[in-house]
Structure 1
Amino acid sequence: MCGICGFTGRLATSEEILENMKNKIIHRGPDSGGSYIDDGVSMGFRRLSIIDLEGGHQPIYNETRDMVITFNGEIYNYQELREDLIAKGHVMGSNADTEVLLHGYEEYGEDLLPMLRGMFTFVIWDAKNQTLFGARDFFGIKPFYYALQDGQMIYGSEIKSILEYPNFKRAVNNEALENYLTFQYSVLPETFFKGVFRLMPAHCFTFKNGKLKIKRYWEPKFQNDEKKSLDEFIEEIDTAMQDSVKKHKISDVEVGSFLSSGVDSSYVAASFHGDKTFTVGFDYEKYNEIDFAKALSEKIGIENHSKLITTEEYWETLGKVQYHMDEPLADPSAIALYFVSQTAAKYVKVALSGEGADEFFGGYNIYREPHDLRPLTRLPRPIRRSLGAIAKRLPKMKGKNYLIRGSKDLEERFIGNAFMLTEEERERILKKPTGKYHHTLLTRPFYDKVKDQDDVTKMQYIDIHFWLIGDILLKADKMSMAHSLEVRVPFLDRLVFDVARTIPTKYKVNEENTKYAMRQAAHRYLPDMVAEKKKLGFPVPIRIWLKEDKYYHMVKESFTSKAAQEFFKTNEIVKYLEEHREGKEDNSRKIWTIYMFLVWHKQYFEETA
C-alpha cells in the first residue's frame, strides 16, 4: 500500500515540485519514498511496507529500464501471474506484486487488467513511446485523481498532491456542491475542485502528446441463475469467501480485522482466524457495539481492542476527517472509521473489513422497499401519481411518506443508499443554484443498462456505481490511510462478485431478512444472533448532539459565517437547525450535509491545507 503522484513534462523545478507532492501524502506511505524523473515525466511514490519488505521499493523498472511503474494497492493473484510471466521469459528482480504488474503490462498490454484480482491504481511510463498508461481497480477500492494543465497531466492518489502543482488555482465546483447536497458525497467525475477529475473504477487511460484517452475495461453484470438451489449458492458463497480471505491475508506483516456487531465484518473476522479485532463505539447505549464485538471475539477466540469515542473527540476530529477525505463527505460514520483505523494502526499495518457485502448480496434495508410498496406499485401509474399528489398536501402523519414514495417509479425515488435534499430544497437554500443536473440525469444511464432486471437488482447496480464508490470505499481508503493503515476488503473480490451476480433476488431479500443467502453461509462460523442481526449501518448520535446547546451554537456559527453566506441563503439553512432543535422536524442529516461542506471549505479555502 502506498500513495502515488506525478506529472508529465519537465519543469525547471520538477524535483522540488514532486517532493512537495509526495510530502502531502506521506501518511499513505511513511516507510520510504521514491522518484523517477526524466524529460517526459516525474513520478513520485510513498511506501507502506507490507509485502517483500526489502525488495518492494518503487519505482520499479523492466529489464531494459525503458518502462517504469508506481503502484498503489495489492494484487492478490500476483504469484500465479508471476509464474506465468517467468515461464514466458520475463526476469524478476523481486517478489513484489508491483514488478508483476509491470511485466504483465509488457506482455499483455491493457488485456492484463481483467486478469487481476485485487485493489489498485498504477501508472506506467513507457519512455520509448513517451506514453503514460494508468488504471483503477474494478470497484473503485483505490482512488485516483487527475488534472490537465498547459498540455500536461497531473495525477495523484489524493487531490492534495495535485494542489501542489505550480499555478494550479483552487476553485469550488458549484455543480459538485449542488449534487453533493442530494447524494451526501461527491458524485460527478469532476471533483469539488474545478479541473480535478477522478478516474472512475474499471477504467484505464493513455496520455500521449498532450492527449488523454480513457476507456472502460470491465463492467459488473448481473445474470440470475434460477437453476441452482439455495444450498448450492450458500456453498459457492462460502467457497469464494474463504478463498478471498485467504488471498487477502497474504502479508509479511501482521494483519487484523475490523469488527462491528454486524454479520459482514463478523463473517470476515471468523473466516480470517487472525489474532486481533478492532471496534469503536459511542458513550450512548443505543450507539455502542463494543460489548457485542467483545463477546463475539471471545466466542471465536480472537483478541479485541476497542475505543469508546467521546462526543468531544468526535467533534474535534471533524476538520481532520474532511481534510483527509479531500472532498466533503456527510456520512457521520466516516469519523468512526477514522477512530477504528487509529486504534488498529497501534497494533497492525493491515486490517480486513466487510465493505461490499451489502451491495453484492442485497443487504440494505431499503432493498425491501419494492416488496413493501407492491400494493401501490401494482396500481396504474396515473392513479399512483394522483395518490402521491394528494399525500403531499396532507399534514405530517403516518403513511404519508409511504404514499409519496409509492407514487414514484424506482428510477425517480432511488439514487443510492442516501437521499438528502431534493432539487426543490437545493433551489431554496443555494445562493447560486446551477440547476444543471437533476438526480435522475446522473442515474439514468445506469438504470438503462439494467432495465430488464428486477427492482432489487437495479438498486444493487445503482449502489455499486454510486454509493459504494462515492461513500463506502472512499472513506475506507482515506480514513485508514490517514493512519498509515491498509484496509483490505475480501467481499470486493472479482470471484466473490462472480458468485453474487448470479444469485436470484429471492435468495437475497425476503420477508425474514436481507442478504439471506450470505447470512446462511455465515451461519457456518457465527452464532444465530450475529448471522441474523438486522442491518444497522454504523449508528452515530448526531440527531441528539444537534439539539445540545454547545453543538447547536457551533453549527449555527458556521451557518452564518462568511463562507456560508457565499454559497447559501443563510436564513434558510438556519431554519433547518431551528426546526430540528424545536423537535418540529428531524433535519439532522440535512444539517450535517451542509455543515460538513462548510467544515471542508474551511480546511481547503480558509486555512492552508
Structure 2
Amino acid sequence: MCGIVGVYDLSGHREYSRDLVSQMNETQFHRGPDEGGLHIEPGVAFGHRRLSIIDLSSGQQPLFNEDHTVVVTYNGEIYNFPELSEELTEKGHIFRTHCDTEVIVHAWEEWGERCVDRFRGMFAFAIWDRNQQSLFVARDRLGIKPLFYAVLPDGSFAFSSELKALKTLDNLPRDIDVTAIEDYFTFGYIPEPKTIYQGVQKLRPGHTILLKKGSTDVVQKEYWDIPFKPVELSSPELTEKELVERMREAVRVRMVAEVPLGAFLSGGVDSSAVVAMMAKEQSDPVNTCAIGFDVKQFDETEYAKKVAEQYKTNHFEELVGSDDFALLDTLADLYDEPYADSSAIPTYRVCQLAKKRVTVALSGDGGDEHFAGYRRYKWHMNEEKLRSTLPLSIRKPLFGTLGKLYPKADWAPRVFRAKTTFQALARSSVEAYLQTVSLLTDEQRDRLFSAELKAALKGYKSIETFDYYVKKSPTQDPLSLIQYLDMKTYLVGDILTKVDRASMAHALEVRVPLLDHKFVEWVSGLPAEQKLKGQEGKYILKKSLEPSLPHDVLYRPKMGFGVPLAKWFRGPLKERVQEALMGPIIRDSGLFNLEYVEEVVKHHQSGLRDYSVIIWTLLMFSAFLEREMQAKAA
C-alpha cells in the first residue's frame, strides 16, 4: 500500500521542480515509509511513497516499461497479477520484477483504457504514456483506495492519494464549496466527487480520466457499476454453499503477502466470517486483533473471543477507555476535510494495535451494505409497506400534519418515535431514506445555517446526491435501491475513507474481501428477500455461516463501533465544546446561526436534550476551519 502524487501540464511541457513534487510526496510519508521515488520529465512529474508488501527487493516506483516510454505511480494491490503476468508474457511483454505494479504498465500497453477491466483488486494509479502524450488516471470499482485531483490556475493537473498533498501547492484553489457544507452536515462526510474545496475533486469509484496534451477537459468516465443482475439459483442449500465458496475464494486471493498478515476481529458477523475463511485456508493460526471498551454497551470482545477460541487464532486485544478523546486533533489532521464519524477513534486504535503484529490486515467491511445488515434497512422496508398503501399526494398532507403536531421524542426507542415515522411517511421513499441516514435533519440544518449560508446555497439540498444515483441505478427494487445508494455514498465516503486514513496513518494495509468485485457482482444479483427476510438482515449470509460460527455471534443484535459522545460533552470535554462552538472560529465564519448553536450546547450540557451528534459534527468542522485559518496565516 502506498501514497501517490503527480502534476501534469495540460497544454505544454513545463519543467516541474523536484522540490515541489518532493514536498507533495513527503506529506504522505506515513502511507509508504519503506521507500520513496520521483520521476520528472518535461510536462509531467510523479511521486511515490512505498509500503512494501510483495516483491520486497524490487518493485520500486514510479515504475517503467522496457523502453521507459510508459511510467506508472500506483497505490493498491492487483490480486490477479500472476495470471495477468503470464498472459502478458505470452503476448511478448518482458517483466523485470515479480510485483503487481509492472502488470499495470504492460496491461496499459496491451489494452489501453480497458486495462482496468482486467484488474481484480483495489487501486488508484496514474500512467504517463510518452508516445501517446497522454495521462491516464484510474480508481478501483468500489472506491477502496482514494484519489484527489485539481486543475490549477496555471493549467496543471495535480493528483494525490490524500488531500493534504495537494494543499502543499501554493496555487491550489481553496475556496470553500458551500454545497459541500450542506452535504457534510447531512451525511457527516463529503460524498464523491466533491471535496470541501470548489477546485478539488475526488475521482469516483469505477471511473477513469484520460488526458491528452492540448485538451483542458477533465471528464470522469465510468467503466464499472454494481450490476444487480439476477443470478441463477438452485436450492437454498446449494446457494448457501456457493456463497461460502465465493467468499472463501475472495479471502484466499487476499492472503498473498511477504509480510506478516492478520485480520480485524470485532465479534460481528462480517469480520468473524473473514477470520473463519482465513482459518480454513492456512495451517498456521490466524493473527487476529480486537479493541475492547470499558463501557459494556460498546464492548463486543466476548464475541470476538468466542471466534478466536473456535479457530485457535493468535488473538490480541487492547482495552480503550471510554474517555479516549485525545485523538480529536489527530482526526482533524488525518482527514484533511470535515469528517464526522466518531467511530474513527476506535478504528484508529484497532489499526494501531494491528500494526504491532502485522503489516496486512483483512477486514469485514462491506458486508452490511451488500447483505442488508444495517437496522435502517429493516426500518425503511417497514415504512415502505405503509407508503405503498397510499399515494404521496395523500400521505404528504396527512402524515406531514401529524409529524408537525406530534411531540419530538429523541430519547425514546425508535419504534416509539411516531414523529419520525410520520415525517418519513410524508416523504417519497428516497427522501425518507435520506432523512434516516442524515446526521442533522432538514429542520436542524435550517436552524443551524446562517441566512448568508442559506442564500449562498441557492436552494441546493443534499437530496441531489441521492437523485444522481437514483437516476443511474441499475435496480429499482426498494431494498436494492437503498443498498445501491449506500454503496455509492456511505460505503465510499464514510466507511472506506475512515479505514484508509486510519490504517495508512500506521502504515498498515487493509484488504477487503467482501468488496471483491466478482463477489459483489454475484451477491448483488441475489433476491432482496434473501438478504432481508422478515426482520432478519443478512439472512442468507448468516444461514450459510451456521456451520462455521457460533449461533450467538450470528444472531445477536448489531452493536457497531460506538463512542460515548453524550457523556464526553457533559463531562471532560464540556469546556472544549464551549470554547470551540461558541468561540471566534465558529462566530467569525458567518456560516452558522449562533443563537441555535448556543441553544444546542446549553440544552445538551444541562441534560435536557441529547445533541451529541450535532456537537460532534460542529466540533470537527470547527477543527477544519481552525486549520484553514492557520494555513492562511502561514
TM-score of Structure 1 vs Structure 2, range by shorter chain: over 0.9
Q: How does 1:530-541 map to 2 (within 5 A)?
A: 530-541=553-564
1:594 to 618, 628, 631: 618
1:392 to 404, 417, 438: 404
Partner of 1:480: 503
Task: State the alpha-carbon separation in 2 of the partners of residues 440 and 170 from structure 1.
Answer: 25
Letter in 1 for 2:579: E
Three-state SS of the structure 2 residue aligned to 1:213 is coil
Residue 363 (str. 1) matches residue 373 (str. 2):
yes
Task: State the alpha-carbon separation in 1 of the partners of residues 83 and 435 from structure 2.
Answer: 37
In 2, are the aligned partners of 1:416 and 1:463 still within 8 Å (CA)? no
Task: State the alpha-carbon separation in 2 of the partners of residues 585 and 379 from structure 1.
Answer: 34
Task: State the alpha-carbon separation in 2 of the partners of residues 369 and 388 from structure 1.
Answer: 19
Change in CA separation of 1:229 and 1:383 when aligned onto 2, cut-off 3 Å: farther
Three-state SS of the structure 2 residue aligned to 1:129 is coil
1:32-91 Cα offsets, whole Å, 9 max, x none, are: 011110002110000000000001111111111101011100001111111100011100
Residue 175 (str. 1) matches residue 175 (str. 2):
no
In 2, are the aligned partners of 1:279 and 1:306 still within 8 Å (CA)? yes
Partner of 1:38: 41
1:512 Cα offset (Å): 4.7
Task: State the alpha-carbon separation in 2 of the partners of residues 121 and 176 from structure 1.
Answer: 23
1:389 Cα offset (Å): 1.8
Partner of 1:7: 7
Task: State the alpha-carbon separation in 2 of the partners of residues 410 and 520 from structure 1.
Answer: 29
In 2, are the aligned partners of 1:352 and 1:487 still within 8 Å (CA)? yes
Change in CA separation of 1:499 and 1:232 when aligned onto 2, cut-off 3 Å: farther
Residue 305 (str. 1) matches residue 316 (str. 2):
yes
Partner of 1:554: 576
Change in CA separation of 1:252 and 1:401 when aligned onto 2, cut-off 3 Å: same
2:198 to 157, 177, 194: 194
Change in CA separation of 1:535 and 1:360 when aligned onto 2, cut-off 3 Å: same
1:229-264 Cα offsets, whole Å, 9 max, x none, are: 432331221111110100011111111111112100
Task: State the alpha-carbon separation in 1 of the partners of residues 607 and 554 from structure 2.
Answer: 36
In 2, are the aligned partners of 1:368 and 1:510 still within 8 Å (CA)? no
Residue 498 (str. 1) matches residue 498 (str. 2):
no
In 2, are the aligned partners of 1:323 and 1:604 still within 8 Å (CA)? no
1:425 to 444, 458, 463: 444
Task: State the alpha-carbon separation in 2 of the partners of residues 227 and 309 from structure 1.
Answer: 45
1:447-480 Cα offsets, whole Å, 9 max, x none, are: 1234862211111010011101100111111110
Partner of 2:255: 249
Residue 435 (str. 1) matches residue 457 (str. 2):
yes
Letter in 1 for 2:627: Q
1:509 Cα offset (Å): 0.5
Q: How does 1:510-525 map to 2 (within 5 A)?
A: 510-525=533-548
Change in CA separation of 1:391 and 1:175 when aligned onto 2, cut-off 3 Å: closer
Three-state SS of the structure 1 residue aligned to 2:193 is coil
Three-state SS of the structure 2 residue aligned to 1:248 is coil
Task: State the alpha-carbon separation in 2 of the partners of residues 69 and 451 from structure 1.
Answer: 33
In 2, are the aligned partners of 1:241 and 1:490 still within 8 Å (CA)? yes
1:117 Cα offset (Å): 0.8
Three-state SS of the structure 1 residue aligned to 2:567 is helix
Q: How does 1:407-422 map to 2 (within 5 A)?
A: 407-415=426-434, 418-422=437-441
Partner of 1:401: 420
Q: How does 1:113-152 map to 2 (within 5 A)?
A: 113-149=116-152, 150-152=154-156
Which stretch of structure 1 is more off in the superposition, 590-599 or 257-266? 590-599
Letter in 2 for 1:576: V
1:11 Cα offset (Å): 5.9
In 2, are the aligned partners of 1:62 and 1:68 still within 8 Å (CA)? yes
Letter in 2 for 1:454: D
Change in CA separation of 1:306 and 1:604 when aligned onto 2, cut-off 3 Å: farther
Three-state SS of the structure 1 residue aligned to 2:537 is coil
Residue 262 (str. 1) matches residue 271 (str. 2):
no
Three-state SS of the structure 1 residue aligned to 2:220 is strand
Letter in 2 for 1:556: Q
1:522 Cα offset (Å): 2.1
2:298 to 278, 283, 287: 287
Residue 352 (str. 1) matches residue 371 (str. 2):
no
1:321 Cα offset (Å): 1.5
1:400-428 Cα offsets, whole Å, 9 max, x none, are: 22222122221111139731223443232
Task: State the alpha-carbon separation in 1 of the partners of residues 392 and 474 from structure 2.
Answer: 18
Change in CA separation of 1:152 and 1:89 when aligned onto 2, cut-off 3 Å: same
1:170 Cα offset (Å): 3.4
Three-state SS of the structure 2 residue aligned to 1:18 is helix
Task: State the alpha-carbon separation in 2 of the partners of residues 586 and 233 from structure 1.
Answer: 45
Letter in 1 for 2:592: F
In 2, are the aligned partners of 1:268 and 1:354 still within 8 Å (CA)? yes
Task: State the alpha-carbon separation in 1 of the partners of residues 336 and 253 from structure 2.
Answer: 30
1:600 Cα offset (Å): 2.5
Residue 67 (str. 1) matches residue 70 (str. 2):
yes
Change in CA separation of 1:448 and 1:173 when aligned onto 2, cut-off 3 Å: closer
Partner of 1:213: 219
Letter in 1 for 2:114: D
1:602 Cα offset (Å): 2.4
Partner of 1:154: 158
In 2, are the aligned partners of 1:416 and 1:467 still within 8 Å (CA)? no
In 1, are the aligned partners of 2:360 and 2:509 still within 8 Å (CA)? yes
Task: State the alpha-carbon separation in 1 of the partners of residues 552 and 576 from structure 2.
Answer: 40
1:334-355 Cα offsets, whole Å, 9 max, x none, are: 1111111111111111100011
Letter in 2 for 1:358: D
Number of corresponding residues = 607
Residue 528 (str. 1) matches residue 551 (str. 2):
yes
Structure 1: gaps of 5 or more residues:
none
1:321-376 Cα offsets, whole Å, 9 max, x none, are: 12111222111111111111111111111100011111111111111124422245
Change in CA separation of 1:13 and 1:372 when aligned onto 2, cut-off 3 Å: closer
Three-state SS of the structure 2 residue aligned to 1:415 is helix
In 1, are the aligned partners of 2:227 and 2:525 still within 8 Å (CA)? no
Task: State the alpha-carbon separation in 1 of the partners of residues 14 and 20 from structure 2.
Answer: 9
Change in CA separation of 1:122 and 1:418 when aligned onto 2, cut-off 3 Å: same
Partner of 2:603: 579
Letter in 1 for 2:406: L
Letter in 2 for 1:596: M
Which stretch of structure 1 is more off in the superposition, 577-586 or 560-569? 577-586
Task: State the alpha-carbon separation in 2 of the partners of residues 19 and 451 from structure 1.
Answer: 43
Partner of 1:23: 26
Three-state SS of the structure 1 residue aligned to 2:319 is strand
1:13 Cα offset (Å): 6.0
Three-state SS of the structure 2 residue aligned to 1:164 is coil
Task: State the alpha-carbon separation in 1 of the partners of residues 310 and 137 from structure 2.
Answer: 45
Partner of 1:381: 392
Task: State the alpha-carbon separation in 1 of the partners of residues 95 and 44 from structure 2.
Answer: 24
Letter in 2 for 1:427: D
1:444 to 462, 467, 489: 467
Which stretch of structure 1 is more off in the superposition, 287-296 or 57-66? 287-296
Three-state SS of the structure 2 residue aligned to 1:90 is coil
Task: State the alpha-carbon separation in 2 of the partners of residues 288 and 367 from structure 1.
Answer: 24
Task: State the alpha-carbon separation in 1 of the partners of residues 134 and 276 from structure 2.
Answer: 45
Partner of 1:84: 87
Task: State the alpha-carbon separation in 2 of the partners of residues 484 and 407 from structure 1.
Answer: 48
Q: TM-score, normalised by structure 1?
A: 0.96
Task: State the alpha-carbon separation in 2 of the partners of residues 564 and 86 from structure 1.
Answer: 59
In 2, are the aligned partners of 1:2 and 1:46 still within 8 Å (CA)? yes
Letter in 2 for 1:553: E
Change in CA separation of 1:450 and 1:152 when aligned onto 2, cut-off 3 Å: closer
Three-state SS of the structure 1 residue aligned to 2:128 is strand
Change in CA separation of 1:130 and 1:141 when aligned onto 2, cut-off 3 Å: same
